[in-house]
Amino acid sequence: MPLIVVYNPVSGDRTAAKLTTDTILPLLAAHNVIPDKVAATEHAGHAGTLLLSYIDSLAVSVRAEITLVLVSGDGTLHEIVNALRSARSKQEGPFPILRVVLIPGGTANALHSTLFPPPTSPTAEPTVLASLHSFLSGTTQRLVPLTFAHTSIPTSPPVLPGSSENPDGAPVPTTSSDVVSIVVTSTALHAAILHDSEALRASVPGIERYKMAARQNETTWYRARARLLGPVQRYDVTTGALVTVVTAEEEEPLELSGPFAYFLSTVNVDRLEPLLRIAPLQRALPPPPGAKTMDVLAVRPLRDPSLEGKAGEGERKRFKERLWGVLGGAYQDGAHIKARYDSQDGKTEGLPVVEYFRVRGWEWIPEEDDEKAHLLCADGTIFHAPKGGKITSTVLARTTHELDISVYA
Ligand SMILES: Nc1ncnc2c1ncn2[C@@H]1O[C@H](COP(=O)(O)OP(=O)(O)OP(=O)(O)O)[C@@H](O)[C@H]1O
């Protein structure tokens, strides 16, 4: 079967080239697996074009299924998936199945740490080559298919009927950017952190840059409405179960009014970093195989009864302490999803701080004058919606994207 090795020499701590040469290629050779091609990415966006030109170089008779050994972080895989999706949409007929051997060479390695959670015992084997061992094992191979979250971000501001640009209310064609996430799609704090941390990449190559960017955004709230598209389930902290709140696609979405401190959705992953288990139900209560769902986490500060509905500087500073305290629970195996506000009457339980949903998709409608609420992060790539532009994210059905991409686990 055709096999290509691709590594990103600048991802993470920049050790992908050494790992490939010193460890991965010798291990493949020891199993009589000789790659057709070994290539380093040379610039952003290169991984996708590399893979597509490799596919083009193969005779049609041998390209039904391709193995990619990828040494990188999530961002490089994200680029590959988007390049394949774009190529697929322009091509009729069969398209190669892609099997990925994923070697964590990035900073966060969310997908890899979800498939291979960090060992709890100090004597356990490190997991860096676990996907490769699965591929080489032959008998114990497990392939995990990837789910895609498709997000559409308008590129031009909405033109409302009756406005000076459109006085007679004629339909105005909208333009948008489209992107597929395989890990995370977010707005609010997470998007702001990813946006600001990119500027720190050169000086702070490790995870620390995310913490620095977090501090820059810790008292910001984001004014927007979110509409959760059905079917929608809500996590019930008391029973530990997911409870249906919107039954079908046709029903009215569940609307969440802002402001938001946090709004993030994940597919395929429960972790964003090896120890940051942000969406624990992705593994604790996994969706059935092939389900068209993503998990959404939202934090809306004004649910905190101690703020008494106020959003001043003092309340934001107080809420910052609460938010960090709660989100810190994500590092304790996902304990944040159980945190509650204080009870108002001292008898009943307080509201959950983190609202956790399983949904088909969501819409995010930022308030026009809140610039930071217009940021969107798709697997680390940042987009800016135009003023007041509505962002929509939904899980793509396999029949729509017609791609078959899975990872050895
Ligand atoms: N040779 C290169 N020079 C500069 N940028 C590159 C090069 N090759 C790839 N890239 C870019 O590097 C970016 C980061 O890669 P990747 O996501 O794999 O690593 P990371 O950000 O360190 O890890 P993670 O996404 O797991 O946090 C990608 O968005 C990709 O476009």
Ligand 1 pocket, residue 107 CB under 6 Å? yes
Sheet harboring 37-40: ordered strands across? 37-40, 3-7, 65-72, 97-104, 405-408, 143-145
Mean pLDDT computed over 276-302: 96
Q: Which amino acid, 152?
A: S
Vertex 58, ends 36 and 150: CA angle to 5°?
Answer: 100
Per-residue pLDDT tens over the stretch 291-332: 999 999 999 999 999 999 999 999 999 999 999 999 999 999
At 348 the pLDDT is 87
Q: Residue holding tokens 């199945």?
A: 97
What spacing in Å lies between the alpha carbon of 102 and ligand 1's midpoint?
A: 14
Between 97 and 155, name the one with better pLDDT. Answer: 97
Q: What DSSP assignment string belongs to 37-73?
A: EEEE--STTHHHHHHHHHHHHS-GGG-SEEEEEEEE-
pLDDT classification of 211: cutoffs 50, 70, 90: confident
Helices and strands of the chain, counted as H and E runs:
11, 18
Ligand 1 pocket, residue 75 CB under 6 Å? yes
Structural domains present in the chain: 3-141 (3.40.50.10330), 149-397 (2.60.200.40)
Buried b vs exposed e over 304-326: b needs ≥16 C-beta within 10 Å? beebeeeeeeebbebbbebbeeb
What spacing in Å lies between the alpha carbon of 258 and ligand 1's midpoint?
A: 33
Ligand 1 pocket, residue 48 CB under 6 Å? no
Its pTM stands at: 0.93
Per-residue pLDDT tens over the stretch 160-179: 656 666 666 665 556 789 99
Ligand 1 pocket, residue 8 CB under 6 Å? yes
What spacing in Å lies between the alpha carbon of 158 and ligand 1's midpoint?
A: 33
Three-state DSSP class for residue 376: strand
Positive or negative, the CA dihedral 381, 382, 383, 389 is: positive
Cis peptide before 231 (omega within 30 of 0): yes
Ligand 1 pocket, residue 9 CB under 6 Å? yes
Vertex 334, ends 341 and 271: CA angle to 5°?
Answer: 135
Beta strand 391-395 pairing with 149-154: antiparallel
At 172 the pLDDT is 54
**How far from each other are the two terminal CA atoms of the chain, in whole angstroms?**
19
What spacing in Å lies between the alpha carbon of 104 and ligand 1's midpoint?
A: 12
Q: What CA–CA distance (Å, rounded) separates 169 from 160?
A: 7
Q: What CA–CA distance (Å, rounded) separates 218 from 316?
A: 9
Q: Residue holding tokens 């998936």?
A: 81
Ligand 1 pocket, residue 13 CB under 6 Å? no
Please, is 369 exposed, middle or buried when counting C-beta atoms within 10 Å of its C-beta (0-12, 13-18, 19+)? Answer: exposed
Mean pLDDT computed over 45-66: 96
At 185 the pLDDT is 98
Which residues are bridge partners to 187 per DSSP?
Answer: 263
Beta strand 375-378 pairing with 184-187: antiparallel
Q: What is the mean pLDDT of the chain?
A: 93
Ligand 1 pocket, residue 274 CB under 6 Å? no
- Interface confidence, given as ipTM, is 0.97
Q: What CA–CA distance (Å, rounded) separates 45 from 121?
A: 38
CA dihedral 152, 153, 154, 157 (to 10 degrees): 150
Q: Which amino acid, 320?
A: K
Per-residue pLDDT tens over the stretch 138-163: 877 799 999 999 999 998 766 565 66
Helix (H) or strand (E) holding 394: strand 391-395
